[in-house]
Each structure stands twice: as structure tokens, then as C-alpha cells.
Amino acid sequence: MSAVLRVADLRVSIGRREIVQGLSFAVEPETTLGIVGESGSGKSMTVLAATGLLDAPGARVSGSSVLTTGSDGGRSLELVGARSSALRRVHGDKVGFVFQDPTTSLNPLLTLERQITESLEAHRSLTRRAAAGRALELLEAVGLPEPEQRLQAYPHQLSGGQRQRVMIAIALACDPVLLVADEPTTALDVTTQAQIIELVRTLQRERGTAVVWISHDLGVIGQVADDVLVLQQGAPVEHRGVVELMDEPRHPYTRELLAARPRLGMSGPPPVDAEGDVLLSVRDLDVRFTVASAAGRRTVHAVDGVSFDVRRGRTLGIVGESGSGKSTIANVLTGLVRPAGGSAELAGEDVLNRASNDLRRRIAMVFQDPFSSLDPRMRVGDSIAEPLRVHQLPSDRRPRGERVAELLELVDLPAAFAQRYPHELSGGQRQRVSIARALALEPELVVLDESTASLDVSIQARVLDLLRRLQAELSLTFVFIAHDLAIVQQMSHDVLVMQRGRTVEHAPAVEIFANPQQEYTRRLLAAIPPDRPRAALQDS
Amino acid sequence: MSEARDEPVVDEASAVVASPSEPTRLTAVRLLASNPLTVTSAVVLLVVVLLALAAPWVAPYGINDVDVANALQLPSAAHWFGTDDLGRDVFSRVIVAARVSLQVAVVSVTFAFVLGVLVGVVSGYVGGLLDTVLMRLVDVMFAFPVLLLALAIVAILQPGMATTMLAIGIVYTPIFARVARASTLSVRHEPYVQVSRTMGTPAATILRTHVLPNISGPLIVQTSLSLAFAILSEAALSFLGLGIQPPAPSWGGMLFSAQGFLGQAWWMSVFPGAAIFVTVLAFNLLGDGLRDVLDPKQRTLIESRRAR
């Protein structure tokens, strides 16, 4: 069969920098090409340039990318340098796109029906009614519950996973020969990720679509791809079938990506005395939010009677899907949210009511987003010194600069970074700075709220290593919040599984992973991409 | 795509990154300097300000040197902008009036800035009942026509320079309050502010170290635009006889007295009018240039446009 998309010697440069350096690949019908690499490796650029969507001003594209439509060779179109009118005919019709962020890819002012029928009316000149019928079919195909009602719904009425399903429906509306999925599951929970992967595979089998799937996570790529192209700084590193690539990676970079993907059965945290004294004790925590909407006020029960203990030096992993209330617990512990009931004590002192500044010192928090949790107008050194300034430390008249340098060294960053601004650092480096800032006051308890969720898997692995080392060196106690059980397993001594604000299961990590008692826990476990690529399982 | 742009290609382990370590501000200044329109308007403003400051020494004649024999003279080598109905030198009066106008604009906008930003930031950060009360007050002030409010203030107090400043200052306070509040609302929910709150940082410190620096962009732009409008307002008030009182020169007052001589002495109205026009336009263009540079989204656009 002839390839749907054949790319030869594709190069993209902006200014004097070559961002994509001579890539060649082909995608056949009904197969999936996975493109994998860290942020900044040029994966998105490659696909955008190859499909003629690249509109970064000043970018120069050379090479060739031929899209073949219709069976038996059919018509071919060179997409690099094609006129925009020719590209418009192809986009949405022959090539469908799904992007990373489902919250911003849909127009908030249009109903789902309008957004799905848009391309149908443009390319297929269907009547409004025929297009609406097709939209209903598509919503059924992507497995959205109650599709008839959903047609008239607006994007904000859907969850993240449902929106991504709608995006897929839009991309598939005109039965494209090629589907481009740019990190379509990165912003989603692992369970939703597993569903989306399953959905795309089913639709691909039914329709014979060729798929280009971009991800930073080789674990996900192993689930979807037949061929894999590994990119490092715009250059192809390895390009082979997924089974061979994952079984015998040739390039060290591929091996690094393989080792970094979150999966079960990796070494857990270092063992700690299970009978140490209880540092944090939470009883019957109850948090409600009042949400004002057009339909009147309504109370959301974010956390409902959750109790747990964390012993000194241990890590409690709190795991659950988004909306399960796990971040609310973090916010209660750090004083950002006031609970309706329950108690929380740090070594016998009340955390919830009138927490003294001294108590604030002993609990630190690291947030999810490394890009916005540092003040863009403050030097890194000043950000790290901020808690010291607030609490007028160090008291022994040592210059704060010394303490900042010490903290930077602790998180493996050079002392010279103190003079930099956050935008000059990469995501991983910024998260290290956030950790250094959290450690500035020598806290006993550190709350890590999805602290590695927005990092690439390879960087995530290094940050997790750092956290484990810090815990051992400084005998810290962690509350580690994540949606990915594989990461929780690497970090935690005890695990608390949450769903809709309630405790589902709470047990030592070893027991949970060896013998999950609850259906929900089993589902979370099943959502983790397995060790072996799916293609390997199908062969045997 | 944005991902590729945000994230410099950096190996985590290799500690030292070869990236320009200059702060954002410097690049902002450099970008500003690359826009010819902005540079021109800045130069024009500089000339206006210098002229205004040096007016007492530069002015060839005294502002109230009445010389009726030489009244209504055409512009000439002796009187560059001609003379008015009392034989006073229009050029001298225009540059001295520049000093008055700028002084009124700067003082009144400073007043509006300090009061408005204080109200806006506190209101946006504290929220709740205080926010509601303060913002309704601001809404009420907004609902008054600008000149009417100024007229009322001038009518209660005596007309004069101080009153003009106060009137314009009060009229422009709600604008700053709105801008400051809107920006504060978005900054307040940024994680770096939340982090700071978890440390137990007092609210005043958060406002000073995190909120104010991060809302400075829109405020600077608003200041520049407000200066332009303050000059216009002062001219309007003086034209109506409620601002600077004759015989002290002011652009608006000069326009008023030129009214009766439109047919005979065009120079009496054209030159003060041109002075208003040039100064206000320069402030507006500078404001636009600043907005483009200080808004990060616009900024990437400019940068990429230049890279082409």
C-alpha cells in the first residue's frame, strides 16, 4: 500500500537555528507513527510543518511532504510550500487534528453541534440537517454518553476527557485519511488517557485512518504506535518498529526515555520505620465549596470525611482522578482553604485554626505548574529567599545569599542560578527552584501537589530521584499527591485512594499494589501503560 | 508549538545554560527603541518637556508684556508665532503654557494613580464586601460625564490651578482603580501568590513584592494615555474659564481668547491648538508603543515579525 503521508528531508529553521534537521518518514493507512521526544525536541514543529499548518512567523520550511488521498495512489499533493487555498481544502477534510489542551481547543461560545458541523458544511457542503445527523453519529462513535442532549451542550458543560472526545469527533468528521494527535492525553488523567487511547485505536481500525501520535511518554507511544520516531533536539535518533525499539533500544537517548516512563514494579521508596511517631493526623476532614451558577447556588462536597495519619519520615501518596478532592486536602493543610469540619494536627498542634507563623514554617508546599509558581519578575535567588525574609531568618546574621546557595546546591543547581529570572530556566529547573524554596525553612512536612505532572517523563524521573534523595538526607515527611499510580508507587510508603471526595482505599503501598481491594483502585492500576508495547502482545 | 518556544533546549544535568541572562526589562527597552514611531514620540515629548522647563529663560518676551501698538501681528522674525489682541508674544505664551499644562497633567495623574491604584489593588486583593462597596463607588464616579464632574468640583471650590489639578485627578481616579483591580484579580490567583500565602507572608508584603510589580505593565500604559487625556481636560476646563485663570497663559485659555479673532488672526488659535495636538498625540503613540512591548503576547508578535 502506498503511504498516506511521505515526508522527505524536512527541515525547519527559525533565524539561524535549525529546529527540525532533515527528517524523513512515511505513514501508511491504518498504522500509527509515534513521534517521541522531550519538550523542545521539535516534535510539534515537525508535524505542523509537514501538514502545512506551521504559521510561526520567520520559520522557513524546506524538504517535501506528500499527502496521498484516495486509494490506489489516488491524487497526491505536496504540502510544503503549498498555497493556502490548497491547504484549506485539505485541512479538516483529509487531515484531522487533535491538540493537547481540550480546554482551549474548543470555542466556548458555540454548541458542540456547531463545532462538529463546521468542517462538514465547509468541505462536504452538507445541509445543516444532514450535518447535524452526522454530528450525532460522530458523538456516538466517540462514546459520549447521551449524545442527543450533548449536541446542544457547550464545552464548559463537559469534563476534560469528554472535551477531548469531542475534539476527536471534530477531527474525524470528514473521514480524514490522516489524523494528527499532538500530545492528546498529556493534560488528562491516566484513566481518561487509557480511554482515549482505546477510542482512537478502535476508530482507526474501523475507518483505516493513518495516525501520527506525538507524545513525550514512551509508555503511551508503546500503547498506540506501530512505528516510532525518536527525536532529540530536532534530529532523528532512532526510527524503528515499536517492538524492536522498546525491546532493544539502540540509542542511549531512547534507553533514557524508556527508563523514565512511569510504570509499575519499579523500586519503591527506601523503607522507613513503620512505627515512628505520627507527624500529621487528619480526622474526618470535610470541605464544601459554594458554587454560584445561573441555576442558583449549589454546594460541592469536595472532601467528605477523610482521615489519615502520616508517620515521621514516611510518604503518604494521595491518588485519584481530577475532581476527587486530593488538591483540596493539600490546600487545607497549607491554610489556603478553610474546612467545614474535621481536624488536622501536626505533632499535636492544630493546623486548621489560627495556625501560628511558627506552624506555617513546618509545612511547605510545592505546586504543580513550574511556569506560574515562580514570580516572573523576581530573580530565582529572591524567590528562594522569600520565605526566609518573611520569617526573618536566618537569625544568626548569616547573609541570606549563603543559605540560598546552600539550597540551590541541595537541589543540584549551580549557585549562579540565583541571579537568573524564571523564564531563563527549563521546566525541570524551575520545579527544582520551587523545591528549594519549599525547603528554605527546614519544614517537617512537604506537601507535593502534582509536583511532577506537567513535566516530561524524563525530567519527571530526575525530579522524583531528587525528592527521594532529599527525603533520605533531611528525613522529610511527604504528602505526595498524584493522579498516576505508577509514580505514587515509586514514592509512597502508604497510599490513600480517593474518589469524589471520599476515601476508597487506604493501606500500605505494598498491599495496595499487590492486592487492591476496591474496583476503583484496580481500574486506576489497569490504566497505567504496561511494560511491553501492545503490538508485542498482539503478535504472541 | 508554544511549548517549543517557552522551553529552551537545555539538558537538565548540564547545569550551565548558555542563554542571555539579561532581565526582561532591558529587552523591553531595546524593543521599544526599535519602533521608530515610539522613538519619535518620545523625542517630541522630551523636547516639549525641556521647552516647558526652560520656558522662563527661553521665552523671548514676558508673557504679559502688553504692547497694544503691535497687536495682531503676523508671525515674523521678531514674533515667531505672531502677537495676540493685546500685542503679547504668542510663542512665549505657548511655551509657558506648556509648563502649566504639563504640570497640571503630571500632578493630577499622579494623584489619580496613587489613589486609584491603592483602591484598585486593595479592592481586588481583599475582595468580598469591601470590593463591592469600593467598585460601586467607582461605578458611580464613572457614570458622571467627565467635564460635568470637574465643573461641579470647580464650582464648589475656587477656580484655579490647584482646583483644576484636583478636579482632573478625581475624574481619572476610577480609571486607575478599574485597571489596577482587574490586573490584581488575575495576579491574585497565580500560583506564586498562593505559594507566598502558604509561607504566611503578610498581605501587605504580597501586594508590594508580587502584585504591584506584576501589574506594572498595564498601569504604565494607562498612565501614559491618561497624561494625554489630562492635557485635553485641562485645555477644555481652561477654555470654559474654569481652569487656569487669565492672565496666566494656558492652551485652552488662549484658544478661548482667540475665538473672537478667528477671521483676522489665525495664528492666535492655530499655535496653541497645534501644541495640544502634538503633545497629546505624542503621549498616545508612546502609550501604544509601551502597550505593545509590555504585553507579553503582543511582544512575541513583534519579536517574530522582526525575525522575519
State the DSSP code for B259: G
In a domain, A445, yes or no: yes
Number of domains in chain A: 2
How confident is the model at residue B15, as a pLDDT? 35
How confident is the model at residue A478, as a pLDDT? 92
Chain A residues touching residue B305 (CB < 8 angstroms): 57-58
Region class of A450: left (phi > 0), else alpha (psi between -120 and 50), else beta: left
The per-residue b/e assignment along A223-243, b for 16 or more CB within 10 angstroms, e otherwise, is bbbbbbbbbbbbebbbbbebb
Q: Which three cell numbers stand for residue A361?
A: 514554617
Task: Report the SS3 class of residue A411.
Answer: coil
A44 contacts B307? CB cut-off 8 A: no
Residue of chain B minimizing CA distance to A335: B198
pLDDT band at A71 (very low <50, low <70, confident <90, very high): low
pLDDT in tens, A458-487: 888 888 989 999 998 888 999 999 888 888
Shared domain check, A236 and A368:
no
Which of A306-315, A527-536, B282-291 shows the lowest mean pLDDT across its residues? A527-536
Structure-model confidence comparison of residues B294 and A26, the more confident one: A26
- Return the CATH number at A304: 3.40.50.300
Q: Which residues lie below 8 Å from residue B133, measured CB to CB, with a gap of 6+?
A: none
A57 contacts B308? CB cut-off 8 A: yes
- Owning domain of residue A218: 1-94+212-261
How confident is the model at residue B277, as a pLDDT? 93
In a domain, A302, yes or no: yes
Shared domain check, A512 and A438:
yes
Chain A residues touching residue B6 (CB < 8 angstroms): 371
Taking a C-beta distance cutoff of 8 angstroms, is the pair A179, A200 a contact? yes
Task: Reply yes or no on whether the pLDDT at B20 is more than 50.
Answer: no
Q: Which three cell numbers stand for residue B295?
A: 504585553
pLDDT band at B7 (very low <50, low <70, confident <90, very high): very low
Chain B residues touching residue A39 (CB < 8 angstroms): 3-4, 7
What integer is the mean pLDDT of A293-301? 71
Residue of chain B minimizing CA distance to A431: B12
How confident is the model at residue B190, as a pLDDT? 83
A45 contacts B213? CB cut-off 8 A: no
Q: Which residues lie below 8 Å from residue A276, measured CB to CB, with a gap of 6+?
A: A311, A312, A313, A314
Candidates B24, B202, B301; nearest CB to A421: B24
Residues on B contacting A at a C-beta cutoff of 8 Å: 1, 3-10, 12-13, 15-17, 19-21, 23-24, 190-192, 194-202, 205, 209-210, 213-214, 301, 304-305, 307-308
Rg (CA), chain A: 25
What are residue A241's DSSP bridge partners? Answer: A227
In a domain, A481, yes or no: yes
How confident is the model at residue B200, as a pLDDT? 78
Q: Which three cell numbers stand for residue A81?
A: 510550500
Shared domain check, A450 and A343:
yes
Shared domain check, A447 and A326:
yes
pLDDT band at A354 (very low <50, low <70, confident <90, very high): low
Shared domain check, A380 and A459:
yes
Region class of B129: left (phi > 0), else alpha (psi between -120 and 50), else beta: alpha
Of A261, A287, A320, which residue sits at a domain end? A261
Closest CA–CA distance from residue B27 to any residue of chain A (Å):
13
Query: Quick one: CA dihedral A508, A513, A517, A520, positive or negative?
Result: positive
Task: Reply yes or no on whether the pLDDT at B13 is more than 50.
Answer: no
Shared domain check, A443 and A294:
yes
Shared domain check, A234 and A380:
no
Question: How does strand A278-293 pair with strand A296-311?
Answer: antiparallel
The domains found in chain B, sorted by start residue, are 35-65+78-307 (1.10.3720.10)
Closest CA–CA distance from residue B85 to any residue of chain A (Å):
56
Shared domain check, A516 and A368:
yes
B24 contacts A429? CB cut-off 8 A: no
pLDDT band at A74 (very low <50, low <70, confident <90, very high): low
How confident is the model at residue A496, as a pLDDT? 92
Residue of chain B minimizing CA distance to A55: B1
B198 contacts A39? CB cut-off 8 A: no
Residue of chain A minimizing CA distance to B308: A58
Type of residue found at A487: I
Chain A residues touching residue B190 (CB < 8 angstroms): 372
Query: A412: how many CB neighbours lie within 10 A of its CB?
Result: 16
Chain A residues touching residue B12 (CB < 8 angstroms): 426, 428-429, 459, 462
Shared domain check, A324 and A237:
no
In a domain, A485, yes or no: yes
Candidates B4, B12, B24; nearest CB to A45: B4
The number of C-beta contacts closer than 8 angstroms across A and B is 125
Taking a C-beta distance cutoff of 8 angstroms, is the pair A371, A427 a contact? yes
Chain B residues touching residue A335 (CB < 8 angstroms): 197-198, 200
In a domain, A197, yes or no: no
Question: How does strand A278-293 pair with strand A445-449?
Answer: unpaired
Query: B88: how many CB neighbours lie within 10 A of its CB?
Result: 24
B3 contacts A40? CB cut-off 8 A: yes
In a domain, A150, yes or no: no
Task: Reply yes or no on whether the pLDDT at B85 is more than 50.
Answer: yes
Shared domain check, A368 and A479:
yes
Q: Which three cell numbers stand for residue B299?
A: 511582544
What integer is the mean pLDDT of A87-100? 85
Type of residue found at B139: D
Angle at which helix A128-141 crosses helix A160-171, to 10 degrees, equals: 130
Shared domain check, A291 and A221:
no
Residues A19 and A60: their CA atoms lie apart, in Å, by: 10
pLDDT band at B296 (very low <50, low <70, confident <90, very high): low
Query: A414: how many CB neighbours lie within 10 A of its CB?
Result: 13
Chain A residues touching residue B192 (CB < 8 angstroms): 372-375, 383
Residue in A338, A359, A337 with CA at minimum distance from that of residue A348 = A359
What integer is the mean pLDDT of B66-91? 80
pLDDT in tens, B161-214: 888 899 889 889 999 999 999 999 988 888 888 888 888 788 888 898 889 888
Question: How does strand A95-98 pair with strand A178-182?
Answer: parallel
The ipTM is 0.71
- Tell the residue number behind the cell numbers 527549563, with chain if given: A426
In a domain, A185, yes or no: no
Residue in A14, A95, A90 with CA at minimum distance from that of residue A55 = A14
In a domain, A195, yes or no: no
Q: What is the DSSP string of A270-322?
A: PP--TTS-EEEEEEEEEEEEEEEETTEEEEEEEEEEEEEEEETT-EEEEE--T
The contacts found for A16-19 with CB under 8 angstroms, 24 or more apart, are: A18/A234, A19/A45, A19/A59, A19/A234, A19/B4
Closest CA–CA distance from residue B199 to any residue of chain A (Å):
6
Shared domain check, A289 and A230:
no
Taking a C-beta distance cutoff of 8 angstroms, is the pair B115, B101 a contact? no
Closest CA–CA distance from residue A50 to any residue of chain B (Å):
14
How confident is the model at residue B6, as a pLDDT? 38
- Tell the residue number behind the cell numbers 489613589, with chain if given: B115
Q: What is the DSSP string of A3-59?
A: -SEEEEEEEEEETTEEEEEEEEEEE-TT-EEEEE--TTSSHHHHHHHHTT----TTE
Distances (CA, A) of A166 to A98, A147, A161: 10, 11, 9
B7 contacts A373? CB cut-off 8 A: no
Which of A70-84, A158-172, B21-35 shows the lowest mean pLDDT across its residues? B21-35
Task: Reply yes or no on whether the pLDDT at B10 is more than 60.
Answer: no
Residues A337 and A290: their CA atoms lie apart, in Å, by: 13
Q: Which three cell numbers stand for residue A462?
A: 530526575
Q: What is the pTM of this model?
A: 0.77
How confident is the model at residue A515, as a pLDDT? 87
Closest CA–CA distance from residue B247 to any residue of chain A (Å):
49
What integer is the mean pLDDT of B73-91? 82
pLDDT band at B5 (very low <50, low <70, confident <90, very high): very low
Taking a C-beta distance cutoff of 8 angstroms, is the pair B129, B193 a contact? no
Task: Reply yes or no on whether the pLDDT at B72 is more than 80.
Answer: no
Task: State the greatest distance between any 2 C-alpha atoms of chain B, in Å, as a whole number.
Answer: 85
Closest CA–CA distance from residue A513 to any residue of chain B (Å):
31
